[in-house]
Amino acid sequence: MRSVITYGTFDLFHVGHLRLLNRAKALGDKLIVAVSTDQFNAQKKKKTIIPYSQRAEIVGSIDCVDMVLPESSWDQKRTDIKKYKISALVMGDDWTGKFDDLRDVCEVCYLSRTSDISSTEIKRLLSPLDDGHMKDLRKALDTVASIIASLQ
Amino acid sequence: MRSVITYGTFDLFHVGHLRLLNRAKALGDKLIVAVSTDQFNAQKKKKTIIPYSQRAEIVGSIDCVDMVLPESSWDQKRTDIKKYKISALVMGDDWTGKFDDLRDVCEVCYLSRTSDISSTEIKRLLSPLDDGHMKDLRKALDTVASIIASLQ
């Protein structure tokens, strides 16, 4: 049996995450997902919207995921790979080359991410005071300013 | 075999959604989830962050979900219940009483929602009235203030 492992934050779970997990699972028979803890994210100066327990609960409920564990340090990968007899480590291609030192213990695969879908893009879409709103607001203030100026 | 159906939008999939789906599934053997289409949401003046195809893809990937179908009108529930031989319709308790007219064709259950977790709350957390916007706004207000001061 081939076990595959991947690591990630999985904030605001979206189809980009889902498709990466499905493609990771397709590389083996069992998929283990290590979800970064809030403490580990704090070390990385990364802040999530959704807390660890909820991110892990969602990832664990996905069809193709067999096991979830917490990721709490940069150097646990080598330990996990040995402990869980991992055949392949899978990461998104934004990490290309970063984990090549682990090729002595398992395969290392970097999968391309789904274009145009990311937690960052979702956060941008949710910005309620967008550029359009800001221009409107600025225009209104400029109008006020010009009226006041005309009083001088 | 008892089939259960539920209806929802499932924008920005979160543990509130997940727990409701798990509790719906526990009421039967098969869980069908009808996900509202973008067109139907537009009729309801409801705008989602995530488009229908992605919302349906995520819901369909959840362990306890056996089938996903599109919800495209208010009156399709009765048709679905007959077509899929549904034993129970499950809705969140924000809908309590609203679908009691369907009790002649199946059980109707309203489940309590997970407190403090909702798409609305996530959107609020994400509201980025960020530093750049604030600086622009502040600058415009300072201009107005200085013009007013010069009038004194």
Residue numbers in B near A62 (CB within 8 A):
61-63
Query: Per residue in B102-111, pLDDT tens?
Result: 999 999 999 9
The confidence score (pLDDT) of residue A152 equals: 67
Nearest Cα neighbor of A19 from A50, A71, A69, A64 is A64
- Find chain A residues with C-beta within 8 A of B127's C-beta: 126-129
Quick one: pLDDT band at residue A143, thresholds 50, 70, 90?
A: confident
Write down the pLDDT at residue A34.
98
Residue B46 appears among annotated catalytic residues: yes
The tokens for A77 are 């990968």
The CA-atom distances, in angstroms, between B47 and each of A54, B41, B42, B123 are: 25, 6, 7, 12
CB-based contact A100:A77 (threshold 8 Å): no
Is the pLDDT at B133 greater than 70? The verdict is no
Do residue A18 and residue B61 have CB atoms under 8 angstroms apart? yes
**A15/B150 touch (CB, cutoff 8 Å), yes or no:** no
Look at residue B35 in the predicted model and tell me its pLDDT. Answer: 98
pLDDT-based confidence at residue A63 (cuts at 50, 70, 90): very high
Phi-psi region of A97 (alpha: psi -120 to 50; beta: other; left: phi over 0): left
Stronger pLDDT, A118 or B72, i.e. the higher one: B72
**Nearest CA among A18, A16, A107, A110 for reference residue A64:** A18
Is A46 a known active-site residue?
yes
Q: Return the closest-CA partner of residue A18 out of A8, A28, A3, A4.
A: A8
Contact B127 A127 (CB under 8 A): yes
Out of B117, B123, B140, the one facing A141 most closely (by C-beta) is B140
pLDDT tens digit sequence for B15-57: 999 999 999 999 999 999 999 999 999 999 998 989 999 999 9
Q: Are B136 and A138 within 8 A, CB to CB?
A: yes
